[in-house]
Structure 1
Amino acid sequence: MPSVKPHLFRSSILRERISISPVLLTVLAIAFVFSVDNSTFWYIASDVFSGHLLSLVGYMGAVFCLTLGAFSLFAFPWTVKPFLISMLILAAMTSYYVDTLGIIVDRDMIQNVMVTTVAESKHLITLGYVTHVVVFGVFPSLFVMWVRIPPQRRVKAALTPILTCVLSLSLATGLLMADLKSYSSILRERKDFMSSYQPGAPLVGAIRYAKMMSRSANLVLTSTGLDARAGSAYDAPQKPMLTIVVAGETARAQNFSLNGYDVDTNPELSKLPIINFSNTHSCGTATAVSLPCMFSKFSRDSYTFEKGTSTENVLDVLGHAGLHVEWWDNNTGDKTIAARFDTRTLTNLKNPEFCATGECIDGIFLEPLKEYIASVNKDTVLVLHQIGSHGPTYYQRYPAEFERFKPACRTAEFKKCTPMEITNAYDNTIAYTDQMIARTINMLAANEGLATSLIYVSDHGESLGERGLYLHGAPYFMAPETQTHVPMILWMSDAFQSRFSIDESCVAKQKDKALSHDNLFHSLLGLLDIHTAERNPNLDIFTPCKTNIQVAKI
């Protein structure tokens, strides 16, 4: 048998490469993504169009043609391969999280990704994710690289993509017009439908994010509460005041035994004279939105990234009134909330007890906090930003010896854990937060030289597999209560209640009242007797509970 020389064999393979025109290659790539990277999209479609096969075919045909119309604008011989490879990789990356965790990759999710840290994001890069991207992104991209784009005349190469775009959009319009009333109704009622389409949804989200950042690039900071002044609680010589605001992370109210959860996740706080506000809801479902929103003067309905970035927040108002303000962080930063104040970052410290994994658990606050409380000699507001219950590696948010609820999920790949194991790991984080908050309160209570108080409120909640959703960041219109119902707790020392003339029993009567992050800005000002036209007494939960001093009304 005659031997074949290696270089002749390789030349033969190269000569036998399949020749595919740019437009046809685009059609094939879209068909691949459409059928392989859109399991959630097809699942929702089967529910939406149940019993209406022709409507399903017509709508899916329209979506395919719309995608082809958009992608064909890149179907020139010199651009088609780089563009399709980027789309294949993108669709593979996003479809994994959409199909396995129920995440929607919209503008807010992209914003959350852009401001996250390497330490936080690395937990999402699992073996399952890498395998998925290689199989459904890298391998088809290699095929795109391998195929041959046949030579075309310049006029044909330039006009064919444009004609394809026009024809595709025309066909899509015709298909949608055939049953426009039904399709319009579906898009209004089932916003989760197109939000699950890959790579359409993340591309639209990226465009919206870029526009948002462009609009906010040159914004000028607007002052808030320049008229702020300290009320009568500050007139006579008093014990210095220290209020600690704990910004919790990913804690959902449903898993607080203080709220009736049948697992004892709050054994320490239940022993303390706290007020637990059981009906509080968040401004957003992800830190990048919720954290700046909760400290801003804007309501959830009126808050935007541009407003939050360009407007001073409640910490600034407290500063204008003469209070000392600090921010300590064990998360992904203050999101510019504390840009005008002293900040302290406690993440990634070389502490073998609390930072053994490269990230620090919230016990890292305790020792410096003990020293800080002893040193306070002026009226101070200190914000502690926790890592709290941030997933998916819940088991890394508490010490190993603190694993009370077993068996607990000890991996970032939830498909390897049972629902009970995932919940147990999450409940351990809540129990650890319970201990951290209780220990902080006990340190405050032990210092008789200060008038002290503590407010704890989480930035958003978490999904643990309910309705196929995990983690957080769902668009607010479709977010379940587990992602928006958050815990909020208040503790006040006797000295604090006396100095600020607060009737604790009156405040406690509001424990089941419907509250939200909208109340924090105004209630913090009311709690600390800060007079300003920016405070809305209707949103200040302390308005009816002042016994001697009167907080100015607008």
Structure 2
Amino acid sequence: MAIPRTTTDSPARHLAKQHVWTAVLQALRAAFVPRRMRCLWAASLVAALVVNPYVLNDGQSVLMSCMGIVCSTSLLCGVILLCGVILLCLKYRFTAYAVLPAVILFNAGLYMMQMRYGVTLSLSVLASIAETNFQEACAFCTAGSIAGTLLLAGFIYLAIYWSRRSLHQTATWAALACIWSLYGVSLLLSIPAVSCSAEPLYLYYTSDKAMGWPLVDFVMAHKLVNEYVANDARQFNLLQELPSCAEPLSHCDAPDNLVVVFHMGESVRADHLPLNGYHRNTMPLLSREPNVVSFPHATSFGIVTRISAIGMFTDAELERRQPGHSSFIDLFNKHGFKSIRIMDLNGDSVHDYSLGILTRNCRVQKQTPPLHRTPDMMQERTSLVMEGCLGEYGNARQLYVIYNEGSHMAFSYPEKAARFTPARCNMDDPKAHLDETINAYDNSIVDLDASVHRMISRLKDRPAIYFYCSDHGVALGEKGKMFQGHTLPCVYRPAMFVWYSDAFAARYPDMVRALKANRLKAVSHDHIFHTLLSLAAIRSETVRPELNLAAPQAKETAVPIQPEVLADWQPFATATAASL
């Protein structure tokens, strides 16, 4: 009888399997049994409720809320413990206390921007963050955001402290790996993003747009920072070095007392004006004015102020993104207009720096009075400054360049403008209270109506033009998006209208007829430079008749456009492509 052969590796394989299962059991025990790990999981549940405002929304089922809690727990624990391992295994204890909270809080902020407002990391978003001002930043500093940040920061420090105490134990490392694996599984099985977003969370994280939670794509972030620092510096230099539009031959036959007002609006979308058929009367005063011509089919040069300003003040165009000449202000100065800039902010601040560059040639620069001096006024503060200037400069030719906060988030307005109620822009969760958010937005347009009407009432006894155009619109829940910075029609279809005085109509009837004849055409920010100069009776080689809405031969903006080009200004790429 043959003797069965034995191998020495069979017991070894059996022993190896035993070790694997033992390690798994030890990892599970280490992940859930020790008191410190139970505290971590409990703290993560609390953090999930506070940090994620979409866990317990009105009208949301209990099952969906519970799944949201589980998903948020995995996100929080996974990120905190993984980052803790990466830093602490290198024994950078003090670096961990300083860097780890900053990294995780930054990631959490990007995640919340995606979940709350539908915003993902991009060059436009990075530039907007870098150039923001104190008032804009305060809009996001809600009680919920502050509480969530403090709780998350505290949780991070506790995680570092508890993890560091037992890093020498193998079971702790196994527990961290186990928890991170649970995070990955929950990520793939996670629920659709709640509230108004229809995109499942797992699709968001597995798509090429996944640049938010749990870890920022640091390569992309580094690339965007370099691009912002390098390209934007060159772009700003380019704006400063543009040849003046006053250099070519030009002449002006405007009356000596002509007043031209260019009001660069903020975040007012065309479809929320009754002048364009909106079902609400958000402009009770201007809607009764007979001399208002609105252009309901306008397209903006950009989807954020810093980009749109370039197309509004220069001869840059939607397709030809590079301007050929400086701001139209130079031509007004050349022909004896007293140019006055009125802004809520200091035009030389970092905020929307391109706007400051393009309006720096205004000979007089005014700032609206602070809110605490005029508590019952918001946008009407601009009219106070303009009234003072009209009295000071009398019957001289005058150009006013106006820019104020307008309908910028979080849609501020005085109590007297509260026409639609209940109204409140809840920055913690604007999509969950969309009706209130839209009411607040419409009330801000009511305030704009009062401000513009007050200013044009001071211009009715002289030749005058009031050209209003918003820099862009805003998203109000469309496709789960909120506010500006999105390539959606509601964002790149801004409000645009022109008011003219009776004296102007009597002197230039042909221009008025052309404005009315062109009102239903597809126009854009391309037309502003050429139309504004023509309305001021300035004739120049830089004015193109086909982009002059005060001329019968004005042409429409070429459609369809590629909305993606509106997200950034890339004159260097355009110039390179044109040379090939």
- CA contact 1:295–1:337 (8 Å) conserved in 2: yes
Offset at residue 301 of structure 1 (A): 3.8
Aligned twin of 2:332:
318
Give the alignment's TM-score, normalised by structure 1: 0.68
1:452 and 2:460 aligned:
no
1:489 and 2:489 aligned:
no
Matches of 2:120 and 2:526 in 1, distance apart? 25
1:130 and 2:146 aligned:
yes
Aligned twin of 2:136:
120
1:335 and 2:349 aligned:
no
- CA contact 1:227–1:532 (8 Å) conserved in 2: no
Residue number among 361, 383, 408 corresponding to 1:390 in the alignment: 408
Any gaps of 5 or more consecutive residues in structure 1?
1-17, 19-31, 41-63, 153-185, 356-360, 547-554
Deviation per CA, 1:8-28: give whole Å up to 9, x if none. xxxxxxxxxx9xxxxxxxxxx
Offset at residue 39 of structure 1 (A): 11
Any gaps of 5 or more consecutive residues in structure 2?
1-29, 31-43, 55-77, 169-202, 348-354, 555-580
Aligned twin of 1:424:
439
Residue number among 291, 300, 307 corresponding to 2:309 in the alignment: 291
Matches of 2:508 and 2:271 in 1, distance apart? 32
Aligned twin of 1:102:
118
Offset at residue 459 of structure 1 (A): 0.8
Matches within 5 A, 1:156-175: none
Instruction: Indicate the RMSD between aligned Cα atoms, in angstroms.
Output: 3.8
Offset at residue 422 of structure 1 (A): 1.4
Q: Which amino acid aligns with 1:461?
A: G
Deviation per CA, 1:381-423: give whole Å up to 9, x if none. 101112111112x2x32x2122111111264434596322111
- CA contact 2:245–2:325 (8 Å) conserved in 1: no
Task: Give the length in aligned residue pairs.
Answer: 432
Change (3 A) 1:462 1:138: farther
Residue number among 249, 252, 269 corresponding to 2:286 in the alignment: 269
Offset at residue 251 of structure 1 (A): 0.8
Deviation per CA, 1:50-102: give whole Å up to 9, x if none. xxxxxxxxxxxxxx9xxx99x98998544666544332121112212211222
Q: Which amino acid aligns with 1:336?
A: I
1:519 and 2:527 aligned:
yes
Matches of 1:141 and 1:132 in 2, distance apart? 14
Change (3 A) 1:73 1:128: closer
- CA contact 2:309–2:471 (8 Å) conserved in 1: yes
Change (3 A) 1:126 1:416: farther
Matches of 1:228 and 1:324 in 2, distance apart? 20
Change (3 A) 1:209 1:513: farther
Residue number among 377, 395, 405 corresponding to 2:395 in the alignment: 377
- CA contact 2:265–2:403 (8 Å) conserved in 1: yes
- CA contact 1:107–1:206 (8 Å) conserved in 2: no
- CA contact 1:280–1:486 (8 Å) conserved in 2: yes
Offset at residue 373 of structure 1 (A): 2.3
- CA contact 2:300–2:493 (8 Å) conserved in 1: yes
Change (3 A) 1:118 1:255: same
1:505 and 2:476 aligned:
no
Matches of 1:390 and 1:285 in 2, distance apart? 13
Change (3 A) 1:97 1:371: same
Aligned twin of 2:368:
346
Q: Which amino acid aligns with 1:86?
A: A
Change (3 A) 1:84 1:367: closer
Residue number among 70, 81, 105 corresponding to 1:89 in the alignment: 105
Residue number among 395, 401, 407 corresponding to 2:416 in the alignment: 401
Residue number among 470, 473, 476 corresponding to 1:461 in the alignment: 473
Matches of 1:491 and 1:213 in 2, distance apart? 40
Q: Which amino acid aligns with 1:522?
A: H
Offset at residue 345 of structure 1 (A): 1.2
Matches of 2:165 and 2:335 in 1, distance apart? 68
Report which stretch shifted further, 97-106 or 76-85: 76-85
Aligned twin of 2:224:
208
Aligned twin of 2:564:
none
- Give the greater-gyration-radius structure (CA): 2
1:362 match: secondary structure: coil
2:543 match: secondary structure: coil
Change (3 A) 1:339 1:415: closer
2:120 match: secondary structure: coil
Aligned twin of 2:569:
none
Q: Which amino acid aligns with 1:344?
A: K
Matches of 1:494 and 1:340 in 2, distance apart? 30
Change (3 A) 1:428 1:544: same
- CA contact 1:500–1:529 (8 Å) conserved in 2: no
Matches of 1:124 and 1:278 in 2, distance apart? 31
Report which stretch shifted further, 140-149 or 245-254: 140-149
1:256 and 2:273 aligned:
yes
Aligned twin of 1:471:
483
Offset at residue 203 of structure 1 (A): 6.9
Matches of 2:500 and 2:222 in 1, distance apart? 44
Matches of 1:74 and 1:495 in 2, distance apart? 75
- CA contact 1:354–1:362 (8 Å) conserved in 2: no
Q: Which amino acid aligns with 1:367?
A: L
Matches of 1:444 and 1:372 in 2, distance apart? 12
- CA contact 1:244–1:381 (8 Å) conserved in 2: yes
Offset at residue 461 of structure 1 (A): 0.8
Query: Percent of aligned positions with the same letter in both sequences?
Result: 21
Aligned twin of 2:244:
224
- CA contact 1:457–1:489 (8 Å) conserved in 2: yes
2:253 match: secondary structure: helix
1:362 and 2:379 aligned:
yes
Aligned twin of 1:180:
none
Matches within 5 A, 1:10-89: 76-78=90-92, 82-89=98-105
- CA contact 2:470–2:496 (8 Å) conserved in 1: yes
Q: Which amino acid aligns with 1:244?
A: V
Aligned twin of 1:242:
259
2:494 match: secondary structure: strand
Aligned twin of 2:64:
none
1:502 match: secondary structure: helix
Matches of 1:198 and 1:290 in 2, distance apart? 32
Aligned twin of 2:178:
none
- CA contact 1:38–1:197 (8 Å) conserved in 2: no
